[in-house]
Amino acid sequence: MSRIVGIDLGTTNSLVAFMDKEGPHVIPGPDGQTKVPSIVGLTDNGLIVGDPAKAHLIRDPSHTIYSVKRFMGKGLDDVKDELKYFPYHLHEKNGVIRIEIGDKTYSPPQVSAMILKELKRRAEDYLKEDVSKAVITVPAYFNDSQRQATKDAGLIAGLEVLRIINEPTAASLAYGLQKKTQGLIAIYDLGGGTFDISILKLKDGIFEVLATNGDSHLGGDDFDQRLVDVMVDDMFQTQGIKVEGNPELMQTVRLEAERVKIRLSDETQAQAVIQLPNGTYEKLWTRESVESLVMDLVERTLGPCRNALKDAGLTASQIDEVVLVGGSTRMPLVWRKVEELFGKTPHSELNPDEVVALGAAVQADILGGHTKDLLLLDVTPLSLGIETMGGVMSALIRRNTTIPTSAKEMFTTYVDGQTSVDIHILQGERELVKDNRSLARFQLKLPPLPAGVPRVEVNFLIDANGILHVTARDIRTGEAQSVQVKPSHGLTDDEVEGMIRDSFQFAAEDIKARQIIEARNEANAIIVATEKALVRAANLISDKEAEGIRRILQQLGEVKAGDDHRVIRTKISEVEKTTHHLAEVLMDATLKEALESKKLSDVIK
């Protein structure tokens, strides 16, 4: 059975990890870095992901996608307030956001799939085997649409997603495994774009989530934005520079804001420096100034913490340990606020960037049947219900119910001969339908009978991934009924299939693009080296030979602009053949030189 990897698909950074006998490990890239920036660049030469894409962000922001996790499982209406901050155009199709890049459009799961593919490739290179199965983490407070979108992203990337697991619970697995902790723990997880709080009971290898709460739209990105707003305003006031409408500059300011914020976790002040077309912009930030700027955002995390405690039937003082997860918890302000609320010093021994990926690898090992003593019992973060008369939501499954869980509901008719009932599925805590999240709709078919006679039982099942499945059964006949659920903010099965096909096509294009880039790079290197050699060998070869070499070099220079890597390769080997004698002559000369300048004893030694 092939190995299952654990993936932390983050707003800002993503990581992949695996588990062996020694425990979970994060897989580093060729440069030793474990974090892959969750950024995708669509360049003329193909797709780039991670660090190269981050560099691309400043050069070509309108072809570079970042923080795509914020768009997962969402419609345009959900993100309308922040549209102005993004350098690319968005539109909506079938309730799903589409990102416009050049003349192509991408759904958020497609973009996430590009990041997942990069992680898959990274794991395959490191483990030297095919990787086709994964556990992927999501914020605990993600709703059904967001979870489904993440699962779709895995499918598009060619991964079988064995489990969608909540980030704070994943962190608790890694933490509990390491510390052998027992008792009540709170996991405070503040990432790049999302906030989660989970309260767990750890006992004899069982990790039971008692309650979870959060804000799926609050994180480090929002902190950066506050700094950006101040600097953008400041640049206009002091130097008359309009950053809005200049996406390149806007991204430079955003990255600088992020850098300053990170720096202020260790230092008490930091200088922001932004290169402008004519001059520079500088601003000295102090830790206090940033803290007062983001204070309300950090305080916004405390409400969900109190609600989670309340739902768990606990008080803050009953919590044995508080664990911090996510890059944003490095901020001293966050640390202080959490300490104040729980009345104890929080833990952060494990790298807050890596602990979620490590936990996902542990869960992967459990699913693979290797780790048998640990079991995670998670909950559904939001209540699930259906629309009833008067636009009111009637809850079928309450939030913080241990999953898997199911609820049955009986449906009948109100009019003689009625043949269908419309069912609208919702998620959320509010009274009215309009204030909750619409998950899906479907039409239940009923036999044409007098009113009240048909009886169809619908079963709503939330599986261990937190994803909803709907089945129906006619009570009179006992027969199962197929249910065609149309997601309100999700891709249809057909769309996902299409995207999987496209992704193979992209993969082919990507390989082609990479081959061209590699061939071009090689051609450039050969041209430079040969020209250098010609200068050095000016007196060693005939003019005729030199002339012949220059001619073929020029030909190589011409073909390398084309987009067929085979033509470039053929020309490269021709150049190599033609310069064979030149290389020999130079080698001899070098050897002679070496021998002449040294004593015999030096050479033999």
- What is d(CA 134, CA 159) in angstroms, rounded to the nearest whole number? 6
CB of 460 to other proteins, least distance (A): 10
Q: 3-class DSSP state for residue 434?
A: helix
Packed helices 220-239 and 287-299: angle between N→C axes, nearest 10 degrees: 130
CB of 159 to other proteins, least distance (A): 15
- What is d(CA 148, CA 257) in angstroms, rounded to the nearest whole number? 33
Closer CB to other proteins, 379 or 386, in the complex = 379
CA 276, 277, 282 angle in degrees (round to 5)? 15
Closer CB to other proteins, 48 or 210, in the complex = 210
The amino acid present at 238, given as its one-letter code, is T
> Is 20 among the residues known to form the active site?
no
Contact by Cβ (8 Å): 70, 217: yes
Going by C-beta distance under 8 Å and a sequence separation of 6 or more, which residues neighbour residue 372?
A: 366
> Is 229 among the residues known to form the active site?
no
Q: How many residues does the structure list for the chain?
A: 605
CB of 480 to other proteins, least distance (A): 13
CB of 17 to other proteins, least distance (A): 18
Contact by Cβ (8 Å): 495, 110: no
- What is d(CA 125, CA 127) in angstroms, rounded to the nearest whole number? 6
Q: DSSP alpha helices (H): ranges in 74-219?
A: 108-127, 144-156, 167-179
> Is 189 among the residues known to form the active site?
yes
Closer CB to other proteins, 249 or 364, in the complex = 364
- Annotated catalytic residue, options 35, 54, 60, 69: 69
Which long-range CB contacts under 8 A does 238-247 form with residues at least 24 apart? 238/281, 239/276, 239/279, 239/281, 241/276, 241/281, 244/84, 247/61, 247/62, 247/87
CB of 583 to other proteins, least distance (A): 57
Closer CB to other proteins, 162 or 262, in the complex = 162
Contact by Cβ (8 Å): 33, 14: no
Closer CB to other proteins, 207 or 342, in the complex = 207
- Annotated catalytic residue, options 144, 167, 353, 378: 167
CB of 182 to other proteins, least distance (A): 13
CB of 473 to other proteins, least distance (A): 13
- What is d(CA 45, CA 51) in angstroms, rounded to the nearest whole number? 16
Closer CB to other proteins, 374 or 517, in the complex = 374
Residues that bind other proteins (CB under 8 A): 1, 162-163, 203-204, 206, 208, 363, 366-369, 372, 375-377, 401-406, 461, 463-464
- Annotated catalytic residue, options 118, 144, 152, 189: 189
Closer CB to other proteins, 371 or 413, in the complex = 371
Closer CB to other proteins, 224 or 378, in the complex = 378
> Is 8 among the residues known to form the active site?
yes
What count of other Cβ atoms lies within 10 Å of the Cβ of residue 369? 9
Q: DSSP alpha helices (H): ranges in 390-466?
A: none
- What is d(CA 605, CA 600) in angstroms, rounded to the nearest whole number? 9
Contact by Cβ (8 Å): 427, 143: yes
CB of 94 to other proteins, least distance (A): 29
Q: DSSP alpha helices (H): ranges in 29-143?
A: 51-59, 108-127
Q: List the catalytic residues.
A: 8, 69, 167, 189
